[in-house]
Amino acid sequence: MVCLGNICRSPLAEGILRHKVEEEGLNWMVDSAGTANYHVGEFPHRLSQKVAKLHGINISQHKGRQFVKEDFERFDFIYVMDEENYADVKTIAKNYFNEKKVDLILNASFPNQNKNVPDPWYGTEEGYHIVYNMLNEACKAIIKRKW
Ligand code: 4NP
């Protein structure tokens, strides 16, 4: 799960997908990262933590890290939150980039629509609830199709 700062959207996406993976008893490794380095080592935004907790998901232990090109070797699939993340992942990955492994996460729930998960960083708490619901639907679809 990849976003810009790895403190708002992608830690939430990671927590939601891991929760479903555990419920389904799947053996998947789930992680998240940011394309920028602004928040490396920081815990998730308090509102991402709050919204996750409301749904019984604890993301308080996650620490921000920056996406690295080797993530293309470590992971089978890379879900990005928006088109800017997609472009940045491509730039960071250089010759490690593999188009088959990357997609906008909302294409799981809205196939071929190329929708972006809005960045809640600049808004109010409501934005975090909206993002949670979008990511929850996308993760349901990811679990269902098993990739
Ligand atoms: P995220 O949100 O990409 O969902 O983690 C952001 C977090 C921090 C910043 C931007 C977006 N920032 O500019 O510091």
Asked if residue 38 has its Cβ within 6 Å of ligand 1, the reply is: yes
- pLDDT at residue 137 tops 80: yes
Range of 66's domain?
A: 2-145
The CATH number covering residue 120 comes to: 3.40.50.2300
* Single-letter amino acid, residue 64: G
Q: Is 3 in the pocket of ligand 1 (CB under 6 A)?
A: yes
Per-residue pLDDT at 146? 78
Nearest atom in ligand 1 to 6's CA: 5
Find the 98 Cα to ligand 1 centroid distance in Å: 25
Asked if residues 115 and 106 have their Cβ atoms less than 8 Å apart, the reply is yes
* Contact criterion met (CB below 8 Å) for 6 and 33: yes
Between the CA of 25 and the centroid of ligand 1 the distance, in Å, is: 31
pTM of the model: 0.97
Of 88, 103, 31, 30, which Cα lies nearest the Cα of 65?
A: 31
Residue 45 Cα, ligand 1 centroid: separation in angstroms?
9
- Percentage of the chain lying above the pLDDT 90 cut: 98
- Looking at the DSSP bridge assignments, the partners of residue 33 are 2
Calpha distance 15→95 (Å, rounded): 29
Q: Which of 4, 12, 128 to mutate to test the pocket of ligand 1 (most atoms within 8 A of CB)?
A: 4
Question: Total structural domains in the chain?
Answer: 1
pLDDT of the residue at 50: 98
> Mind telling me the catalytic residues?
3, 9, 119
- List of residues 6+ apart from 25 with CB closer than 8 A: none
CB 12 within 8 A of CB 52: yes
